[in-house]
Structure formats: structure tokens, C-alpha cells
Structure 1
Amino acid sequence: MKLLIKGGTVVPIVGEPFVGDILVEDGKIAKLGKNLRVKADQTVDATGKYVLPGFIDAHSHIGLYEEAVGFMQDGNEMTDPITPDVRAIDAFNPYDVAIKRALLGGFTTVMIVPGSANVIGGQGAILKFKSNIVDKCIVRAPAGLKMATGENPKRVYGEMKKMPSTRLGIAALMRNYFMKVQDYMEKKRRAIEKDGVFLDRDPKLEVGELVLRGEIPARVHAHRAQDIVTAIRIAKEFNFRLVIEHGTEAYKVVDYLVENKVPVVVGPFGFRTKIETKDLTYENVRILNEKGVLCAIMVDHPVTHLEFANIHAALAMKYGAKKEDLLKMLTINAAKILEIDDRVGSLEVGKDADIVIWDNDPFLPQARVEKVFIEGEEVRWWGE
């Protein structure tokens, strides 16, 4: 199957925009250039349009906190502060109408994660919006272990009069968990060495083993600078890879983030409703980017709906961020943080043909998505 997208303003992300064509073969980008002369099974006229890679959300609760379900959410297992064995894919609902609107916002790939009520919240997954069957959407699962610092675990479990009710308790529970994982790994090693088999599996600790072996990163919710530093401290103690989620005060410790090569998924923007977000500023992404922190932008759907992420990103230009850098934060930077940049995040030969055609510059409020292709197939939401 060959698809030819002709005459659009192609924004490849990793190179300069140009007016030209994209050839797609068997779900991959085969050629980019001006006036490509090839025979195709389908030709799309993109004259006067903008052609970009699908946006990537590196932190989302879409399909877990569904629209219109109120308190009947499936994103937080608020019965135990340590729930590494729960999996976001087991709650993801492809019929959440927000997915339709996310596609119309230019998004093709998301990292879904449990909420931040628990210190160890569960396993996230990277999905593409290409099917009503979640298993056919999975790019990688598990793709990270969600963890949380700060006010959310304090509030949830403090109200229950149980640990953690303080930042002291949160850090202690993290350490306790990973110490148990270390002991579990040693117990497994000895059993296999002695008997050739290990028959005492613990699903809570198996996930932690993936983190300590470096197979998946910890994705740690941390707004305040002190919580970011605590997350880095614990990651260094146990030698695991770390991504900071939210990073509202990341600009306050930007040099420390650079020193420790820790990426940040920044957002959401626009609300200062609790103590953790009182120092929120749109300048955060500019400062982090200028200092060399690998950062992506999120809106923490459904805190702000994913369909409006392009507009929230564009607002950062008012505070000095550059348009080309912000586009990277919605595409290739997010792909790098998710470790899938060999497949998505830019328009390059050999990458998945996840392509979105806009009727205007996507950072303009009036811009609308006209067509979405995932791996070369045009996608329309299946829920109607």
C-alpha cells in the first residue's frame, strides 16, 4: 500500500520545513521531497496545509479518567500506597470520547499512567490511538513505573490516618519498597543457582525488578523542587533511571537536573490551586530547554483536555520559548523520553507513518486537524 501526501508545508521537526511531498509504503515513511513522481494507491492533496508528525503525550490519564464518569474513575487504586502490580492497560477504555478529541488535537501516541494518589502507583503503557482493542494499540507495556511524591499521597493516606502522611513517610515507603525488591532479586538469584527454578514470584516485586535492572524507568510525580531532589536522591541510592513528571518547580533546580541527566515532562499549565503549584510559570519550559534538560510538554489530561495541548504549548512563546523548541516538546522530545524515537516523533525515512494534516499552523487557535494517519492508515474514532 502506497500513500502519497502532496504539496503540503512539511514540518519534519528534525529539519527545516519545506513545501513538498511524503511517500508512505507499508506503514513507513519511504520518501520525503519536492515534486515526488511516484505512483501511489492513494494520493492526498495537502496544498496549503501543514503536515506534521503525530503529537506524543508522554504523560496522560486518557481512557482511565474518562469524560463524564465523575468519581467512577479507574486511574487510582486508593486502597494501598504501594500498588506496583496494577496496570494502566487493564483499565484503559478505547471508547472514552476524549480519544476522538485527542485525535482532532493531532495526538497519535500517548503514555498512559495511573494517578498520583499512591507512592508506588502502578505500571504505565505507551499506546497508539489505532484500534478499539487496547492490545492492538500497545507500543510498549509496561513502559514505566508510576511513583508519586508530595501532597497527593499525603492527602489521601493522611486522611485515612495511615502512612504516608508526610514527605518523610513517602520517601521511607519508596526506600522500603526498593530494599524489598533488592532482597527479592537476591533470593531469586540464589534459588535459580541452587535449584534452577524460582517458585515464589511476587507481582509487586517483579515490577520493581524491571526498574532496578534498568528495563523500565521510574516515572515520579514531583511538583516542588524539594520533591524533585528527593526523587533524584532515591534514584541514585538504588541506581534506577528516572523521569520527573510535572516538574512545576524544576526551573529552581535546573542545574541539578542537568548534572544528573534527568528528563522532565512539564505541565500542566494554568492553575495555581494548591501549594505545590503556587510558583508555576510558563517560563519553566524555556529555562529547562535553554539549560539543556530534555523536556516534553503535557497537560495532564483530563486536568486540561488533550485536544487543547497545542494551544497551551503555544502560550509558552509569550514567555520566551521558541516555536521550534515547543514543537519538539510535543514530538521528538517526548519520543526520546519514552525511548521510542527510533519509530515516531519526526518525519524521517524509515519511521512509522504517523502523520497529521492541519489546515493551518497548529499553534494558531483556529487551526484544525483534517486527517490523521497512524502507520499509514487514516484513523477515525471508532466510537460513533
Structure 2
Amino acid sequence: MLIYNAEIHTMDSRGVIENGWIDTENGKIKALGEGAPDNIPEDSINAQGGMLLPGFIDAHTHLGIIEDSLDFEGDDCNESTDPFTPQMRAIDGINPFDRCFEEARMRGITAAASSPGSANACGGEIAAIKTYGRRIDDMLIKSCGIKFALGENPKNVYNGREETPITRMAITALIREGLYKARRYVHDMDSYYSDSENYDPPEYDIKCEALMPLLDRKIKAFFHCHRADDICTAMRISREFGLDPVIIHGTEGYKIADIIAAEKLPVICGPVICDRCKPEMRGLELKNAAVLHENGVKIAICTDHTVTPIQYLPLSAQAAVKGGLSFDDAIRTLTVSSAEILGIDEITGSLAPEKDADLQLYAKDCNPLDMMSEPLLVMVGGEICRREI
């Protein structure tokens, strides 16, 4: 499929191609360039000067793992029978037939990170997925990290049961204990493989197995944190175990933006469009993303769907613009920056040859973040999911 006469926002070093074309084939971007292509097939799309962008990426959601219009029956987000569950995998709980996938596609959102919840100190493995498909295995981009939670959520869940953890100290101790066990498990496994005559393999432990890629920095550690002190606890744990950390929410990040920047710690900001629904969110401010960015922190914007419905991801970025973030930087938070934070930037998040054909087209002079805007064309992995041109 050839698209021409487009203002192409590549979101990479090529910047904006004012009048360009892009060719897709077999789900990938085949080529793109400036001016008019040499040959224009009959089935090509004339963008009429419209803005062509990578598909938006929601870097933190519970898409498909908390289903729309359902209560317990469709909520597979928190296995809150155990406060430490790294072995849980979001992919095993996601229903790709949930109607919110279509609502995401219709608004130009082509990928999302769907995560276990924050009831537990460790909730499980996060799945970065495409928003188009019928089988979640085919929609999976990669398993990008393990979800941890600090602060109020685990405290609330387990306090009502009079079980551990009911304090921030206990939450952190549980995480530390699990990581220490996994590190020892790796050591014992290495000893066995290097000298099987003198060492026995450790007894199989599914929790330790799930944490091994985290300790090897093959996947990232995603920490649910709202308060500034919890963000600092995430830093402490990450330094202690050599993790590759990401902060989810970071509501009070603006209070310690310089410290976060010095630690080179990325932050997925959001939800932005919501009330201050609990004490640890009382510091919620629209300026948060802008202040973090001004201090050199890599940021993404998220909806935390279902907290904010996923189709309002662009509007969430617009709210961050109201808080001081530039329009161009807001677009980056929904595309290449989200992809980089999730570790999927070699696949999606920008427009370049060999990357997946995840893209969206808007009418000329249309603001893609505006509440009233809708894309004329949406492609996910080369599949046309919406076409109004």
C-alpha cells in the first residue's frame, strides 16, 4: 500500500518530511521518501497533505485484562491471594475481543502495554501488544517487564485481611526477599551447569524463574509509584539488584525531577485525566510531565485504562500540553518515547524501513490530540483498521 502527498512525521532523525510518500508491504514499511514516488499504483492513497504519524502507543494500561462492562467475571488483573506473584503473565488474562481494542484502534492507538495490577508487591509480567487481532499470541510484541507496586494499593488490599504487607516497609521487604531468592537461584543454577558432578540443580521455583530475565536486565522492572518517597524506594531497590527500572505514574515526579533525571529513570506519566481519588494522588498536577521533561527525564503519557478509557490517550497528552509540554514533545510521548521505554522501538513507534506498518493519517491542519479529531486512516501491522479517505 502506497500513501503519498503526506506530511510524514517520522519521529526519528529524519524529522518531518513535508511532502512525502510511504510504501508498506507484508505488514512492514518497505520504503519512504520525499516528493512524489516514481510509480503510483491505482490502489494508492492520496493523503491530500495530511499528517502521517506512527500509531500511538499507550505505555501503561490494563487493556483486555480488565474487560469493559464486566465486574469480577472480566477482571483478571490482580491475583491478590498472594502478595508476590512474578509468575503471573498478563498475556494469560487478556481478552482480545474486548470492545476497547476497537475503540483504541479507531483513535489511532496501535499498541499498548497491558499490565497486571498493583494489588500485589509484585503483580507479574507485562505484555506489550498490538491492538488488532483475534489471538493474543499473534498480537504480542514482547513481554517487556515485571510489574511491582509500592505504596497505597498493596497496603489497602492486605490491611483489610490483616496479612502482610500492611506497611511500605513490608512491601519493600517482600520485593527484596523475592529478588534475593531469585539471585541465589541463579547462582545455584550456574553452579550446577558449570559443575554438574558436584552440584545439584535447585528445586524448581516458578517465581525465581520469572525473575531471572529481570536480574539479567533482559526485561525491565516497572514500579507503580505515585509519591516521591516511593519513587526513591524504587531507585533504591533497582540499585541494590542492578535492575533496569521504569516508573509508572510518577505523580509526584515534579517534586524530585532533578533526582529522577540524575538516575536516568524514565517515567510513564498518568493517568492525567482523573480525580485525586486516593491520598497518594493528592499531589496530581498537569505540570508533572512538562517539569520532568524540562529536567531531561524520558517520559511517556498513559491512560492507565480502565481508569481513563484508552481512546482518551491523545486527550491525555493534550492535557499535558496545557500543563506546559510542547505539542511536538507530547506527540513523542505517545510514539517513539513510549516505544523506547517499553523496549519495542526496533519494531514500532517511528516510521522507518523494516519497522511494522503501524501508522495513522489525519486531515491537513488537524490537531491529532484534539478531542474532536479522528484519524482518516489507521494501519496496524499493515492491516487497514480504519479508512475514511
TM-score tier, shorter chain, comes to over 0.9
Aligned match of 1:83: 85
Tell me the SS of whatever aligns to 1:19: strand
Distance 1:207 1:201, change over 3 A: same
Aligned match of 1:350: 354
Aligned match of 2:6: 8
Instruction: Flag as ranges the 4+ runs of structure 1 deviating above 4 A.
Output: none
Tell me the SS of whatever aligns to 1:171: helix
Aligned positions of 1:36-185 closer than 5 A: 36-40=37-41, 42-72=43-73, 73-141=75-143, 143-185=144-186
Aligned match of 1:232: 235
The amino acid of 1:242's aligned partner reads P
The amino acid of 1:96's aligned partner reads D
Tell me the SS of whatever aligns to 1:186: helix
Aligned match of 1:366: 372
What is the CA–CA distance in structure 2 between the aligned matches of 1:253 and 1:59, rounded to whole Å? 22
Tell me the SS of whatever aligns to 2:357: coil
Query: Structure 1 residue 180: deviation in Å?
Result: 0.9
What is the CA–CA distance in structure 1 between the aligned matches of 2:135 and 2:386, rounded to whole Å? 14
Query: Structure 1 residue 48: deviation in Å?
Result: 4.7
> What per-residue deviation string (whole Å, max 9, x for no partner) do you get for residues 284-313 of structure 1?
110111111111000100100110110121
Check the 8 A contact 2:104/2:131 in 1, yes or no. no
Q: After superposing the two structures, state which structure 1 stretch, 5-14 or 231-240, moved more.
A: 5-14
- Pick one of 289, 296, 307 that aligns with 2:293: 289
CA RMSD of aligned residues (A): 1.7
What is the CA–CA distance in structure 2 between the aligned matches of 1:117 and 1:169, rounded to whole Å? 14
- Asked if 1:320 is matched to 2:320, the reply is no
- Asked if 1:280 is matched to 2:284, the reply is yes
The amino acid of 1:255's aligned partner reads D
Q: After superposing the two structures, state which structure 1 stretch, 9-18 or 91-100, moved more.
A: 9-18
- Pick one of 219, 241, 257 that aligns with 2:222: 219
Query: Structure 1 residue 17: deviation in Å?
Result: 5.2
What is the CA–CA distance in structure 1 between the aligned matches of 2:141 and 2:357, rounded to whole Å? 14
What is the CA–CA distance in structure 2 between the aligned matches of 1:80 and 1:380, rounded to whole Å? 42
Query: Structure 1 residue 52: deviation in Å?
Result: 0.9
The amino acid of 2:336's aligned partner reads I
What is the CA–CA distance in structure 1 between the aligned matches of 2:321 and 2:342, rounded to whole Å? 25
Tell me the SS of whatever aligns to 2:127: strand
Check the 8 A contact 1:211/1:218 in 2, yes or no. yes
What is the CA–CA distance in structure 1 between the aligned matches of 2:224 and 2:330, rounded to whole Å? 22
Query: Structure 1 residue 40: deviation in Å?
Result: 3.8
Check the 8 A contact 1:32/1:349 in 2, yes or no. no
The amino acid of 1:60's aligned partner reads T
Check the 8 A contact 2:20/2:35 in 1, yes or no. yes
Aligned match of 1:263: 266
- Asked if 1:299 is matched to 2:303, the reply is yes
Tell me the SS of whatever aligns to 2:268: strand
What is the CA–CA distance in structure 2 between the aligned matches of 1:186 and 1:6, rounded to whole Å? 56
Tell me the SS of whatever aligns to 2:38: coil
Check the 8 A contact 2:106/2:386 in 1, yes or no. no
- Pick one of 352, 375, 382 that aligns with 2:381: 375
Give TM-score, length-normalised by structure 1. 0.94
Query: Structure 1 residue 36: deviation in Å?
Result: 1.6
> What per-residue deviation string (whole Å, max 9, x for no partner) do you get for residues 74-108 of structure 1?
11111100111110000110000000000011111
Q: After superposing the two structures, state which structure 1 stretch, 338-347 or 357-366, moved more.
A: 357-366
What is the CA–CA distance in structure 2 between the aligned matches of 1:277 and 1:121, rounded to whole Å? 20
What is the CA–CA distance in structure 2 between the aligned matches of 1:133 and 1:100, rounded to whole Å? 14
> What per-residue deviation string (whole Å, max 9, x for no partner) do you get for residues 4-59 of structure 1?
11223322233135233212233322113221222447311221532111001111
Q: Percent identity?
A: 38
- Asked if 1:27 is matched to 2:27, the reply is yes
What is the CA–CA distance in structure 1 between the aligned matches of 2:128 and 2:316, rounded to whole Å? 22
- Pick one of 251, 255, 259 that aligns with 1:252: 255
Tell me the SS of whatever aligns to 1:379: strand
Tell me the SS of whatever aligns to 2:360: strand
- Asked if 1:340 is matched to 2:344, the reply is yes
Tell me the SS of whatever aligns to 2:155: helix
The amino acid of 1:164's aligned partner reads P
What is the CA–CA distance in structure 1 between the aligned matches of 2:342 and 2:95, rounded to whole Å? 21
Distance 1:26 1:40, change over 3 A: farther
Check the 8 A contact 1:357/1:372 in 2, yes or no. yes
Check the 8 A contact 2:185/2:202 in 1, yes or no. no
Tell me the SS of whatever aligns to 2:243: coil
Aligned match of 1:209: 212
The amino acid of 2:35's aligned partner reads K
Query: Structure 1 residue 343: deviation in Å?
Result: 2.1
The amino acid of 1:252's aligned partner reads K
Matched positions, count: 378
Q: After superposing the two structures, state which structure 1 stretch, 240-249 or 186-195, moved more.
A: 186-195
Tell me the SS of whatever aligns to 2:195: helix
- Asked if 1:18 is matched to 2:21, the reply is no
Distance 1:35 1:380, change over 3 A: closer
What is the CA–CA distance in structure 1 between the aligned matches of 2:153 and 2:43, rounded to whole Å? 50
The amino acid of 2:382's aligned partner reads G
